[in-house]
């Protein structure tokens, strides 16, 4: 089995989206065609020269970073060549403030969804700050209602983290699990053909945005940005929000705030304050 096939299987096993799998395979395949080396013999210098070649052609910083991530993946996770990337800097991408919805817009968006199951999915997506991949992989056993939190297991970067369960949807989730007769190991949300696709969730959000007449470009990830922004607005500390978002560094979380005073308190979902 060649490196591209192994890479594809590993990405799918880790629940990367179909689009990400295709993009990573395309980028790495392009690199292999250029380097014309057996993957185990690839060096740091090879990678630097390839990225410099793309840079000279006018590729954007975000595209260079994408190629770097695609090249890193099979070398690190399949060939275990981790030291090759020590001190190899990421291509810097100009930072832009992400789009987010106001609290009133969140209420309009969620209120426009008629299908109760779809509504519950979007309520959970916003109220917990989950990524779309984390939502569709969530299982009944990951929810700890007595403690008002759930677990994201093997999330982005293969990390585990806690997420809060809003009081507003706690009872709805429990009732839904009971009505659907879901067992401990079952996916929390599934369609007729099994696991929901990211595209299905995107379509729900797209239709809700249209129906609620929100004049913004809204994606499922917009709800995650809104969750973080509303926590900051509600006075929660940067460190607390960083933990809930699963960010490696506070710098990533800083896009949601210019200045936040640290506080030690129990965190409630912003959805409970709407």
pLDDT digits (tens, 9 = 90+) for 99-138: 889 899 999 999 999 999 999 999 999 999 999 999 999 9
Stretch 224-250: mean pLDDT, rounded? 80
pLDDT at 156 > cutoff 80: no
Contact 167, 271 (CB under 8 A): no
Q: For 42-57, write each residue's pLDDT tens digit.
A: 998 999 999 999 888 8
User: CATH class for domain 3-85?
Assistant: mainly alpha
What pLDDT shows up at residue 60?
77
- Residues labelled catalytic: 131, 156, 221, 224, 247, 256
- For Cα atoms 122, 103, 106, give the angle at the middle one, nearest 5 degrees: 25
Contact 212, 111 (CB under 8 A): yes
Higher pLDDT, 253 or 4: 4
What pLDDT shows up at residue 201?
94
Give the 3-state DSSP-derived string for 49-88, with helices as H, strands as E and coil as C: HHHHHHHHCCCCHHHHHHHHHHHHHHHHHCCCCHHHHCCC
Query: Sign (positive/negative) of CA torsion 169, 263, 249, 260?
Result: positive
Give the domain ranges of the chain.
Answer: 3-85, 103-273
What pLDDT shows up at residue 163?
93
What pLDDT shows up at residue 96?
65
> Sorting pLDDT into bands at 50, 70 and 90, what band is 165?
very high
Question: Fold match between 3-85 and 103-273?
Answer: no
Q: What count of Cα atoms within 13 Å lies in the side-chain half-sphere of residue 120?
A: 18
To the question of domain 103-273 being in CATH 3.30.830.10, the answer is: no
C-alpha 176/C-alpha 118 separation (Å) is 12
* Lowest-pLDDT choice from 23-27, 53-57, 102-106, 232-236: 232-236
pLDDT at 248 > cutoff 80: no
> Sorting pLDDT into bands at 50, 70 and 90, what band is 205?
very high
């Amino acid at each position: 089995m060649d490196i591209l096939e192994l890479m594809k299987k590993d990405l799918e096993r880790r629940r990367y989206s179909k689009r990400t799998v295709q993009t990573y395979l395309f980028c790495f395949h392009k690199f292999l065609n250029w380097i014309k080396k057996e993957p185990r013999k690839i060096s740091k210098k090879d990678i630097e020269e390839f990225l410099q070649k793309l840079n000279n052609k006018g590729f954007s910083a975000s595209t260079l970073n994408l190629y770097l991530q695609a090249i890193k993946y099979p070398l690190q996770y399949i060939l275990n060549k981790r030291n090759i990337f020590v001190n190899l800097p990421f291509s810097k991408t100009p930072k832009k403030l992400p789009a987010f919805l106001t609290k009133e817009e969140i209420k309009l968006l969620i209120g426009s969804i008629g299908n109760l199951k779809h509504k519950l999915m979007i309520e959970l997506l916003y109220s917990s700050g989950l990524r779309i991949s984390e939502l569709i992989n969530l299982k009944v056993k990951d929810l700890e209602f007595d403690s008002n939190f759930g677990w994201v297991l093997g999330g982005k970067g293969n990390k585990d983290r806690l997420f809060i369960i809003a009081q507003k949807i706690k009872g709805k989730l429990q009732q839904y699990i009971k009505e659907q007769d879901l067992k401990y190991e079952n996916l929390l949300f599934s369609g007729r053909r099994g696991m929901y696709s990211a595209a299905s969730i995107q379509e729900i959000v797209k239709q809700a945005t249209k129906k609620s007449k929100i004049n913004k470009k809204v994606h499922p990830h917009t709800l995650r940005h809104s969750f973080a922004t509303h926590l900051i607005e509600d006075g929660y500390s940067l460190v607390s929000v960083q933990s809930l978002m699963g960010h490696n560094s506070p710098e990533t979380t800083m896009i949601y705030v210019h200045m936040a005073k640290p506080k030690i308190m129990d965190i409630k979902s912003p959805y409970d304050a709407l």
